[in-house]
Every structure is written in C-alpha cells, then in structure tokens.
Amino acid sequence: MPDQLLFALEVTANGLMAGVMYSLVALGFVLIFKASGIFNYSQGVLALFAALTLVGIQEGQVPFAHLINAVTGLHVTEFGWKVPALLAILLTALVMVGLAIIIEKLVLKHLVNQEPIILFMATIGMAYFLEGFGDVMWGADIKTLDVGLPQGINETLESVTDKALGYGFFVDNLDIVATVVAVMLVTALTLFSQYSKQGRALRAVADDHQAALSVGISLRFIWVLVWSIAGFVALVAGIMWGSKSGVQFSLSLIALKALPVLMLGGFTSIPGAIVGGLIIGVGEKLFEFFAGPLIGGATENWFAYVLALVFLVFRPQGLFGEKIIERV
C-alpha cells in the first residue's frame, strides 16, 4: 500500500478515537435534552467539576481549604491520605448524584413548565456558578489527573502494523481505553433505557409529561436520575480528557466540541451523538491532514462547525432526529 494511504488510515483511526471523546460529551447533552427539553449549557463545566472533585478526593485535598484557612486562620491543605483511584471514582460519582439532587431542588423544581429558553438561561447561570464553586472547593491551580490509565503510544499495535504493512501505526493507549470505555458506557445506557423500569420511565417522560404523570411517574425523580446520569457521563468524559491534558478551566470547553456533534447528530438521538462524534472526529483529522497544509493549518478549530452547518442546511433535524413536520 502506498504510504500516503496508510498514513490517511492512521489519521482516520486517530480521528475515530477523538470522535469517541466528542461523542462522550455530546451524550451528556442528549440525555438531558431528551428527558427534559433542556439544553444544558453547564455540561462542560459538569465534566470539569467532576474531574476536579476526582483529583481532590484522590489526593486527599481538604475541600474549601482556602476558605477555611481565610476564615479560621488555620493552614489546612490536605488530609494526608491518598484515596485509591477506583474508590475515588465511586465517591465522585456519589458527589455527582448529590449535585443532581441539589440542582433539582434549588433550580429545576422551581422552573417547571417554564419556557425552554428560561431553563437554558438557568443552566448558563449554573455553569458559571459551578465553575466558581469548583475553584473555591478545590483551588484554581492546574492539576494532573492519573487514575492509572495507560499513556503513550501503543507499542503492540505499532509493531504488528509495522510487520504486516511495513508501516507502524501510532495510536495512543489512552484513546484506545477511552474508546472501550465509551462503547461500554453507551451499551450500558442503551440496555438501561430499553429494558429497565427507570429507563422506560425516562423515555416516557422524554416523550410526554402529562402521559408520564398519568402512569405514575414522578417527573422530579426522573430529573434527578437524568442529571445523575449526565453527571456520571461528565465524570467519564472528565477522566478521559483530564488524563490527556490535565484538569484546568479549558476542560470545560470540550462542550464546544460537542456542539457541532449535536448539530450533526440531532439533539435527541443517542446513536446520533455517537455517529456524529465519529464523523466529526474523522472529518476534522482528515481535513487537517489533506487540506491543512494547503490553507495554512489549524483547521481543527473550525472545520467541525462548517461540517455541521452544511449538515444543518440539508437536514435541520440532524442525522437521526425525527423529521420536523409542523401540523397546520
């Protein structure tokens, strides 16, 4: 095979894995939008907050240390213990559930039956609050996240492809893990929503609130449930992105990567979020590879949006979204 083709293949593989990461973030948006019609602006910050909390718990950081010190004159920073990664992830997941309950109690409950735009505004408020709250709780410094995921180039794959094709593929271990985890997560979510009692209730609420109430579903319970799941998905995304490039404010900007995925895949489709993510991941890597050198590079910042816009023009409901028919 010609080198150029092999190289494009490698780029595609990397694109697919980047795409999985985008899908992961987009998934959080889709879950909440489906169940409550809310476009959750704070999804990215949720991932940041989850990652911050995870690092904090793992490192045995004292939460609100700065605040405590300022008020009491003490000098606490750390408890002096380390928490094993798995336990820390579990605890963080619990924190995310707690957060979901608080969000429902303090915000959503009071905005039942409001216009979607008002709920959207509320999530903007939540995003900025949570960003500041995360800083106050865990400190604003850049942190490294290490939950023991393998890093670096996968050597087995490189040597195998080198022997077979005469060209060694460079694929990051972390990307492979992220792909496997994302596939498992999506499978679990699909099974959950198709077969479990709560999953069925969740789909019911997503479809019609009145009808859902009439068959005995508590909307408030379902909202706590979806925000918990979205928080968990944010945690997974936060772990993957945080392991890759550290935990800092920019982590919350992964939400911007999810937007074109949503435009492409539709706001209400889980398969859409996945396929959309993959298309954008591969598309932007290949475009950068072929066209980047011609037009001066850095196409990855905007290509996804152009692709999504083109899609929007021809299929406004997204790849898998229901066709929008206005009845008159």
Partner 1 sequence: MNDMTDGYMTADGRKIGGVVMELKNITLKFGGVTAISDISFDIREGEIRAIIGPNGAGKSSMLNVISGFYIPTEGEVWYRGARRPQMRPYKVAQMGIARTFQNIALFDGMSVLDNIMTGRLTKMKKGLFAQAGWWFTGAAKEEDEHRAKVEKIIDFLEIQNIRKTPVGRLPYGLKKRVELARALAAEPSILLLDEPMAGMNVEEKEDMCRFILDVNDEFGTTTVLIEHDMGVVMDLSDRVVVMDYGRKIGDGPPDEVRNNQDVIDAYLGVAHD
Structure token pair of residue 256: 């911007």
Q: Which is nearer to partner 1, 201 or 264 (CB)?
A: 201
How far, in Å, CA of 258 to CA of 42, rounded?
Answer: 12
- Specify whether the CB–CB gap between 235 and 48 falls below 8 A: no
Q: Is residue 214 within the footprint of partner 1 (CB under 8 A)?
A: yes
**At closest approach, how far in Å is the CB of 111 from partner 1?**
17
CB of 81 or CB of 195, closer to partner 1: 195
Identify which of residues 228 and 243 has a Cβ nearer to partner 1 in the complex.
228
Instruction: Rule CB under 8 A: say whether 208 interacts with partner 1.
Output: yes
Residue written as tokens 């925000």? 227
Angle, to 10 degrees, between the axis of helix 43-58 and the axis of helix 3-36?
100
* Nearest distance in Å: CB 324, partner 1: 13
**What single-letter DSSP state applies at residue 322?**
P
Among 76, 90, 213, 253, contact with partner 1 (rule: CB under 8 A): 213
Helices (H), the chain: 3-36, 43-58, 65-72, 85-106, 116-138, 155-165, 173-195, 197-207, 209-214, 219-245, 254-265, 270-290, 292-295, 303-314
Contact code string over 56-75 relative to partner 1, x by CB under 8 A: --------------------
Among 17, 103, 171, 217, binds partner 1 (CB under 8 A): 217
User: By CB under 8 A, is residue 244 in contact with partner 1?
Assistant: no
Please state, in angstroms and rounded to a whole number, the distance separating the CA atoms of residues 49 and 62: 15
**24 close to 182: Cβ distance less than 8 angstroms:** yes
Q: Which is nearer to partner 1, 226 or 254 (CB)?
A: 226
Q: Which stretch binds partner 1 (CB under 8 A): 79-87, 158-166, 214-222, 291-299?
A: 214-222
| Closest to 175 (Cα-Cα) out of 243, 106, 124 | 243
Q: Quickly tell me which residue has 């795409």 as its tokens.
A: 19
Distance from chain centroid for Cα 289: 26
Sole binder of partner 1 in the list 71, 117, 215, 324 (CB under 8 A):
215
Examine residue 322 and tell whether it contacts partner 1 (CB under 8 A): yes
Specify the amino acid at residue 149.
L
- Which of 39, 133, 185, 200 binds partner 1 (CB under 8 A)? It is 200
| Residue closer to partner 1 (CB basis): 217 or 255 | 217
211 near partner 1, rule: CB under 8 A: yes
- In the DSSP assignment, the letter for residue 315 is -
Q: Which stretch binds partner 1 (CB under 8 A): 77-85, 109-117, 190-198, 258-266?
A: 190-198
In the complex, the residues that contact partner 1 under the rule CB under 8 A are 195-198, 200-201, 203-204, 206-208, 210-219, 322
